[in-house]
Amino acid sequence: MKTWSLSWGGLTTVAALELRQRVRSSRWLAALIVWFLVIGGITLLVINAAQTWKITPSQPYCAAGACHLPDNVSTVCQISAAGPAVCAPADAAGSTAGEETTCSVQPDGSVLCSILSDFRPPLSCSVAADGTAACSYDEVDGWRPTIGPLVFSLVVLFVLGLGLLVTPALTATSINGDRHAGTLATLQATRLSAAEIALGKLLAAWATLFAFLAAALPWLATGVVIGGLPILGVLVCVGVLLLELAVVCALGLGWSALINRTSGSSLLTYASVVTLSFLTLIALVLALPLVSTPTQVQVWRLPKDVQAQWEQEMSNWWEANDEALANGETTVSPQPVAPVSQCHWETVTETLTHTERIWQLTVLNPFAIVADAAPEPPVARSHPNLYAGYSGDILFSVRHGIAELAAGPNLESDLCPYSDGAIGPTGLPEASPIVVSPSEPAVIWPWGLAVSLAIGGLFFWIAVRRLRIPYGALPKGTRVA
Amino acid sequence: MTLPASLEPAPERLAAGPPDAEAGGRTGVVGVRAVGVKRAFGPVKAVDGVTFDAPQGAVTALIGPNGSGKTTLLLILAGLLRQDSGTVEVSGFDTVSQNVEARTRVGWMPDAFGAWDALTPTEILSTFGQAYGLPKARRRARAAELLERLHLAEFATAPARVLSRGQKQRLGLARALVHEPEVLLLDEPASGLDPRSRIELRDILRDLAQAGATVLVSSHVLTELEEVCDTAVFLSRGRTIAPDRTAAAATTTRGWRIRALDPASLRAFLDAADIPWQAGSAASDGEVIVDMASPESASQLLRAAVAANVTVHTIAPVSGQLEETYLALNEERR
């Protein structure tokens, strides 16, 4: 069919025509400079804020005889000038759970402490003989907390967010606008096919977005370099971002071919973007009650009577020792130990929210798709909790959230009252019978991208159909020329 | 060659000989052939039965009042609009089944030419050359040549927005000519042109026809068409007027314009004498047109009118044959 024939010459004719007009007629240079400054300004403000307020990825600091984590609450080293320096991690409550400290005296007389934690990046603190101390994070799987992932995340989100705002303006009036200006029909009457006109316009709009991406590139690169992010992953993420914006270009093109009035097609294009970006999230939230259903859950617990008996024993023990504990006495009678060997599986009916049935709504969301395609350093797989807490990687948090939605609620839980409290690598007590398979979180972006491209393809197809000549039935209110 | 629904070419133009096959369309093919073409927009029958041939090497006028379907017909001929029924061949190619072949042989100039205001005439022309697949060197040369020919060379590198309406109209013609079309379709090409440009337009159209192209011009400025066209096609309410009717209209008694200082008394006089009349094209002046067989009849009428104290100041034959035919055909409207 001639409508769909494509030639390089035809495509470049239309694309060059569109780009030349855009360069001549709008203040594109000013727009690019403003864009560069806005993204840069935000990046610098974030870096500054992170340093001022000791937001997660900044370094621990030592002052006034103690070393602190940037959260301003946890103290990792108390330095005593009198005796040899000792590092002992402590949070505000004085608890040292889950942390392990080893200190050694170095040949020069200083003390080097290494502090390991499941929830913090490992720290090295050294205390010199004169009592001055310094702390820094150690690498985990080649990663140490920096501001890089935060900067990268923010720039990607801003380029995507502002791109979603800018893109409709590039194509949403391109077909009906040309029709009103009387320039479309003369072009259609030439040798150019409908597909060449539509694709040429699409490519020209897309090329304009490349210019906006290029203006944001220095800031994006800042994040990549500081964070040491894997280049391949960065390219995939940026590629997915550009394809998502290309889909928006196609949406605008389709609406501008369908709707005769330019204001109508602009409105519908923006409405489409809002639908994909926000209404999918609102729909997800509103659908939550629909998937909250009574579900049979397996619980590992003591038989009811044994549990009640043990609780009574505990209550008696607290009553007997309450005063002694309050006075700080350490010589109290041992706590009663629960008969955990009697723990067994029980089937209980609970109302659970089955997000695994509706998480697919996120697959339509461009932010979710781009976040899912974001580069992932190895540490994000090996120590996900650590990375989530200390990287400032917003894209990772989004992906993590989607993975949890997709996984749905746990159908097994462990309520057995273990006394030793040792926590296994999965976050469950070591003695728990629940086996968490270390499955890789699902990668959703190829699916999301495929759905997006299908929608974009549909709208592109509509645009081509509406440009096909000779026109049969004309939509109401449309003139050929 | 039989020319249904059209006037016979003027004898001196026939003397110019058959069209040069090399310069324009292919031999043995009618430039534009429309048979029983109909096209409706919803309940509106814009084109409702058009049948005509436009020969190669000639300028064919497409004449009809506003709303008679001229623009719609040209859109169909340009391959932009599909007819509901009937067939259209352009340079021998069907505009529906061989749309690309047909439309690349057509240069179409719409009544309202939209220019890309930010681009220069040179860029606009070479863009269209590229759109028609001309090689780079050729389209550059062609753009320069056409700008020179249409006296736009001094604006070659100025943005199109600085062009006046007439200059834009000339640019529109250049645009339609950029790929050296075999068939040229012009929709009201003279509107907005100053007298000198109109004369130049006429010369250009004649030259193109001389070189073998098929030129179809729609207009309602009849005197201007008369000077340039070889044949004419009359459209009324979306239909071509049957050839015997146009022929009859062309050979009827001649119309005479009569004007008086007091138009009312002139009309009263004519009515009293039972002489049929119709309002002329300058009806606001009270002009009337009376069909008379000979100058003797005119002289008689004038004498009688003066005797009846009608203040006649002008009596003259209606100038153009086209206008007369046009008026004869439009009589039915009133």
Beta carbons of A191 and B104 less than 8 Å apart: yes
Residues A294 and A425 in one domain: yes
Residue A61's SS3 state is strand
Residues A351 and A439 in one domain: yes
CA distances from B156 to A29, A144, A181, B175 (A): 26, 62, 21, 13
The whole-angstrom distance between B159's CA and the closest CA on chain A is: 10
Residues A425 and A300 in one domain: yes
Q: In chain A, what is the straight-line distance between the N-terminal and C-terminal CA atoms, in Å?
A: 24
Return the higher-pLDDT residue of B173 and B291.
B173
pLDDT in the model for residue A424: 58
pLDDT in the model for residue B56: 92
Of A381-390, B132-141, B233-242, the range with the lowest mean pLDDT is A381-390
Beta carbons of B175 and A188 less than 8 Å apart: no
Query: Does A340 map to a domain?
Result: yes
Query: Does A309 map to a domain?
Result: yes
pLDDT at A138 over 80: no
pLDDT at A131 over 70: no
Residues A133 and A166 in one domain: no
pLDDT class for A65, splitting at 50, 70, 90? low
Query: Does A324 map to a domain?
Result: no
Beta carbons of B119 and A183 less than 8 Å apart: no
d(CA A173, CA A178): 8
Which one, of B181, B104, B31, lies nearest residue A2 by Cα?
B104
Count of the separate structural domains present in chain A: 3
Residue A259's SS3 state is coil
pLDDT in the model for residue A434: 77
pLDDT in the model for residue B16: 37
Using the Cβ of A481 and the Cβ atoms of chain B, whether some distance falls under 8 Å is answered with yes
pLDDT in the model for residue A456: 97
Query: Does A460 map to a domain?
Result: yes
Using the Cβ of B165 and the Cβ atoms of chain A, whether some distance falls under 8 Å is answered with no
Return the higher-pLDDT residue of B209 and A474.
B209
Using the Cβ of A470 and the Cβ atoms of chain B, whether some distance falls under 8 Å is answered with yes
pLDDT in the model for residue B181: 95
Residues of B in contact with A174 (CB under 8 A): none
Domain boundary among A105, A137, A169: A137
Residue of B nearest to A182 (CA): B114
Which one, of B153, B146, B156, B148, lies nearest residue B121 by Cα?
B156
Query: Does A75 map to a domain?
Result: yes
pLDDT in the model for residue A300: 87
Residues A121 and A188 in one domain: no
Residues A441 and A426 in one domain: yes
Residues A159 and A222 in one domain: yes
Four-point Cα dihedral A52, A57, A63, A66, nearest 10: 140
Using the Cβ of A4 and the Cβ atoms of chain B, whether some distance falls under 8 Å is answered with no
Question: Among B110, B131, B133, whose Cβ lies nearest the Cβ of A481?
Answer: B110
Using the Cβ of B100 and the Cβ atoms of chain A, whether some distance falls under 8 Å is answered with yes
pLDDT class for A383, splitting at 50, 70, 90? confident
Mean pLDDT of A444-454: 93
Query: Does A328 map to a domain?
Result: no
State which residues form the domain around A440.
Answer: 287-318+336-445
d(CA A126, CA A363): 48
Residues A296 and A388 in one domain: yes
Mean pLDDT of B233-253: 70
Question: Among B103, B127, B159, whose Cβ lies nearest the Cβ of A189?
Answer: B103
Residue of B nearest to A181 (CA): B114
Q: What tokens were used for A204?
A: 């020209």
pLDDT class for A343, splitting at 50, 70, 90? confident
pLDDT in the model for residue A228: 84
d(CA B267, CA B258): 10
Of A71-80, A168-177, B160-169, the range with the lowest mean pLDDT is A71-80
Question: Among B104, B123, B131, whose Cβ lies nearest the Cβ of A187?
Answer: B131
Residues A310 and A431 in one domain: yes
Query: Does A341 map to a domain?
Result: yes
pLDDT in the model for residue A426: 59
Query: Tens digit of pLDDT for each residue in B48-95?
Result: 999 999 999 999 999 888 888 899 999 999 999 999 999 999 999 999
Residues A300 and A427 in one domain: yes
pLDDT class for A241, splitting at 50, 70, 90? very high
Pairs of residues, one from chain A and one from chain B, whose beta carbons lie less than 8 Å apart: 90
Using the Cβ of B253 and the Cβ atoms of chain A, whether some distance falls under 8 Å is answered with no
Interface predicted TM-score (ipTM) of this complex, two decimals:
0.76
Q: What tokens were used for A90?
A: 């402590």
Of A76-85, B73-82, B235-244, the range with the lowest mean pLDDT is A76-85
pLDDT at A168 over 90: yes
Residue A134's SS3 state is strand
Query: Does A55 map to a domain?
Result: no
Mean pLDDT of A192-198: 95
Query: Tens digit of pLDDT for each residue in A245-264?
Result: 999 999 999 999 999 899 99
Using the Cβ of A190 and the Cβ atoms of chain B, whether some distance falls under 8 Å is answered with yes
Residues A19 and A124 in one domain: no
Residues of B in contact with A185 (CB under 8 A): 75, 80, 110
pLDDT class for A59, splitting at 50, 70, 90? low
Using the Cβ of A3 and the Cβ atoms of chain B, whether some distance falls under 8 Å is answered with no
Question: Among B79, B100, B131, whose Cβ lies nearest the Cβ of A13?
Answer: B131
Q: In what order do the strands lie in the sheet with B312-317?
A: B278-279, B288-292, B254-260, B312-317
Beta carbons of B175 and A186 less than 8 Å apart: yes
Return the higher-pLDDT residue of B100 and B219.
B100
Beta carbons of A191 and B110 less than 8 Å apart: no
Which one, of A434, A412, A414, lies nearest residue A295 by Cα?
A412
pLDDT at A84 over 80: no
Using the Cβ of B234 and the Cβ atoms of chain A, whether some distance falls under 8 Å is answered with no
Q: What percent of chain B has pLDDT over 70?
A: 81
Residues A259 and A163 in one domain: yes
